[in-house]
Structure 1
Amino acid sequence: MARSKPVPSTVLVTGGAGFIGSHACVELLDHGYEVIVVDDYSNSTPQVFARVERLAGRFVGAVYELDIRDQHALSAVFDRHSVDAVVHFAAHKAGSLSTRMPIEYYDTNVGGTTALLRTMEEHGVHRLVYPSSCWIYGDAGGGPLDENTPVRPGTPYAASKWMCEEILADICRRDPQYTVLCLRYPVPAGAHPSGLLGEDPRHTPENLLPYLAQVAVGRRERLSVYGNDYPTRDGTGVRDYLHVMDAVEAHRVALDHLGDAPGMRVYNLGWGSGSSVLDVIDAFSRACGRPLPYDVAPRRPGDVAELVADASAVTRAWGWHPTRGLADVCRDAWRFQRLNPDGYVDTARRPETKA
């Protein structure tokens, strides 16, 4: 497909030390992009960058510790670097936690995005890849959900993502210079296959896979399954799990396609099929070689019975589709946790050689 503008070469990655952000840095560096990172390390650590550089074989261009709501500090980064495009990962992401901390979620996710957009505007940067979420669809019922599914966010986290999409759409309608790609996906999971990068939350994990990995490695006693009375095949929630390496590949492909057309475009990412909580427990048990204990607990606010994405539109547009399934997610997540039982604190361990 012909492009109206050249592919951007210098990309600012907000939240680049985080789970998805760090994997995205490797992906972008591997494909020739220059990468600048900002992160406040509220749920991450600067230790990841030595690992990113080891995997990519070259350095991240620059890393700045700052809160993206600090527009003065963020502007100084744009002053120092000629940024062509932004990939905006910096956000709080736990739906259930957001019901207990709505102010913090709106402040960071929406306030941080508007501060970033002001700074981009001041420096003439009009190209953005925005990682959104299929959680904006809320309790939309069973079956794969496409981009035209009515939005019904059920948590402050989901609402904050939808608000940011609305802001971006308004900006694109006002100014034809802007090109924005919003990527909606349900549950990113897994780890880099080397075992060097993975999901290492600073606090008690709110999501299934990192909690399960900590149970498997002995950091936690057992998993709580929140609800077994949903109208699904085994009563537990069904999700479309997207391997983090597939997710970051899609973001890189989105950067490649920013020049295809002006304005805002929205695409789902995912498999179009889901796995239940019990499916994931079984798959992770097989990956780590032992059954993992769990208890059933009441449902959590904002949870839905099923969240599965219809991603056929992005396949038609770019030819992109995921290639790593649930077994790959669990295998790679377990390798990272096994090689890093205490997370990134344990920097002396080496990745195993892939056969």
Structure 2
Amino acid sequence: MSKILVTGGCGFIGSHTIVDLIENGFDVISVDNNSRSSLRILEGVEKITGRKIKNYKVDLCNFDDTHAIFQENEDITGIIHFAAYKAVGESVEQPLMYFENNIVSLLNLLKCVQEFNVPNFVFSSSCTVYGNPDQIPVTEQTPPKPAESPYGYTKQMGEQIISEYAKVNPTQCILLRYFNPVGAHPSNLIGEMPIGRPANLVPAITQSAIGKIGQMTVYGNDYDTRDGSCLRDFIHVSDIAHAHTLALQYLEKGVSKKKCEVFNLGTGNGVTVLEAIQAFEKVSGVPLNYTIGPRRPGDVIAIYANNEHAVNELGWVIKYNLEDMMRTAWQWELKLKEDETLHTEQNASLN
């Protein structure tokens, strides 16, 4: 089996991708310093796959510790690089932290890729590289506009670094620009676990609905969209995860005509924030307590994908619709609540 290193393997997309990789015959190891994630997620991965995942609790900004992983695993044939800070609003408030973490970690990783001759590299990029596009849907050829946040700039810079690296090294690279991953694994064993108050829409919806964070804010209803709220391309996390497996298989076949190839990962459908809320209320039966607030710095107005390149070249098929996304996210939130209640009861009985 090909051995794949997944960075950020305890994170939302990373954990789902580990499941998909294992289900498709890959051997997987993880590196995650758990600064924004929990090892608990890998317990869920083990229950789903029957495979225990080794995680290196390493900060990729530390080169020596990162290098040691490769010394211990010289048979790594591919890397999927998720590990990065990803909150748009936080990046606006703390830009230097984002530039240092997201760029230094990538540079350290690529130095090891070069030294240990790792043949395949897949980068977790983002639709934020397009900024506020002039036309939607965006294709891979859509000219990037200035990023709306430091987070977006780290993805633009990351893509450029990898592209330049690929020109002078044998490693084959793929940049996956995904749109808005949401939902949870249908097993209810893994899902999104934001630290603190969630910055992303769907966990904010589910946590508000269950009473964890109280009232939710919709940031702006005066945009030039059909209902005034921001428009996004929501895509189920399991569909995103499978695209990473397909990308690795694509690289292993050696069929790419480019040293560094780009793919959009979205459904191709634009959904507004208010429409997403309505979809959640429909599948959950729970009316959401939300208020309309001012626009949030860093938010793109409207964007969704043209995904034909991924569909045609990778053979990617989208399996989950918007209601599936909301249903699985809500079921995961209910499972977290159930586990929390059980844990509280067990502690009470011990006392």
TM-score with structure 1 length normalisation?
0.92
Give the corresponding residue for 1:174. 168
Deviation of 1:347 after TM superposition, in Å, equals: 7.1
Matched, 1:260 2:259: no
Residue pair 2:32, 2:59 contacting (<8 A) in 1 also: yes
Give the corresponding residue for 2:301. 305
Task: Give the % identical residues.
Answer: 38
Matched, 1:78 2:74: no
Deviation of 1:126 after TM superposition, in Å, equals: 3.3
Structure 1 residues 272 and 45: alpha-carbon distance in aligned structure 2, compared to 1, 3 A threshold: same
Deviation of 1:30 after TM superposition, in Å, equals: 1.1
SS at match of 1:284: helix
Residue pair 1:141, 1:306 contacting (<8 A) in 2 also: no
Q: Separation in 2 of the partners of 1:113 and 1:214?
A: 32
Deviation of 1:43 after TM superposition, in Å, equals: 1.0
Give the corresponding residue for 1:5. none
Task: Compute the RMSD of aligned alpha carbons.
Answer: 1.7
| Stretch moving more, 222-231 or 147-156 | 147-156
Counterpart among 172, 181, 201 of residue 188 in structure 1: 181
Deviation of 1:244 after TM superposition, in Å, equals: 0.1
Q: Separation in 2 of the partners of 1:88 and 1:186?
A: 16
Matched, 1:241 2:234: yes
C-alpha distance after superposition, 1:230-255 (max 9, x if no partner)? 11110001100010000000000001
Deviation of 1:142 after TM superposition, in Å, equals: 4.7
Alignment of 1:284-323 (within 5 A): 284-323=280-319
Structure 1 residues 89 and 336: alpha-carbon distance in aligned structure 2, compared to 1, 3 A threshold: same
Give the corresponding residue for 2:56. 64
Matched, 1:46 2:42: no
SS at match of 1:306: coil
Matched to 2:230, the amino acid is G
SS at match of 2:224: coil
Alignment of 1:4-19 (within 5 A): 9-19=2-12
Query: Runs of 5+ in structure 1 lacking a partner?
Result: 1-7, 350-355
Residue pair 2:246, 2:315 contacting (<8 A) in 1 also: no
SS at match of 1:40: coil
Q: Separation in 2 of the partners of 1:71 and 1:345?
A: 41
Aligned pairs, how many?
Answer: 340
Deviation of 1:119 after TM superposition, in Å, equals: 1.4
Residue pair 1:23, 1:248 contacting (<8 A) in 2 also: yes
Structure 1 residues 345 and 45: alpha-carbon distance in aligned structure 2, compared to 1, 3 A threshold: farther
Matched to 1:260, the amino acid is V
C-alpha distance after superposition, 1:38-82 (max 9, x if no partner)? 00101111111111011012222x211010111111111111112
Q: Separation in 2 of the partners of 1:156 and 1:132?
A: 14
Residue pair 2:122, 2:247 contacting (<8 A) in 1 also: yes
Counterpart among 28, 43, 56 of residue 21 in structure 2: 28
Deviation of 1:343 after TM superposition, in Å, equals: 7.8
SS at match of 1:224: strand
Q: Separation in 2 of the partners of 1:87 and 1:79?
A: 18
Q: Separation in 2 of the partners of 1:158 and 1:209?
A: 20
Matched, 1:165 2:124: no
Matched to 1:75, the amino acid is H
Deviation of 1:342 after TM superposition, in Å, equals: 8.0
Q: Separation in 2 of the partners of 1:315 and 1:347?
A: 43
Q: Separation in 1 of the partners of 2:87 and 2:178?
A: 14
Q: Separation in 1 of the partners of 2:30 and 2:275?
A: 36
Query: Runs of 5+ in structure 2 lacking a partner?
Result: 346-351
> After TM superposition, where is structure 1 displaced by more than 3 Å over at least 4 residues in a row?
342-349
C-alpha distance after superposition, 1:299-347 (max 9, x if no partner)? 0112122110111111121221322111011000000000112888977
TM-score with structure 2 length normalisation?
0.93
Q: Separation in 1 of the partners of 2:127 and 2:192?
A: 20
Matched, 1:331 2:327: yes
Matched, 1:99 2:92: yes
Matched, 1:135 2:135: no
Q: Separation in 2 of the partners of 1:345 and 1:103?
A: 39
Counterpart among 139, 142, 154 of residue 148 in structure 2: 154
Give the corresponding residue for 1:218. 211
Residue pair 1:216, 1:288 contacting (<8 A) in 2 also: no
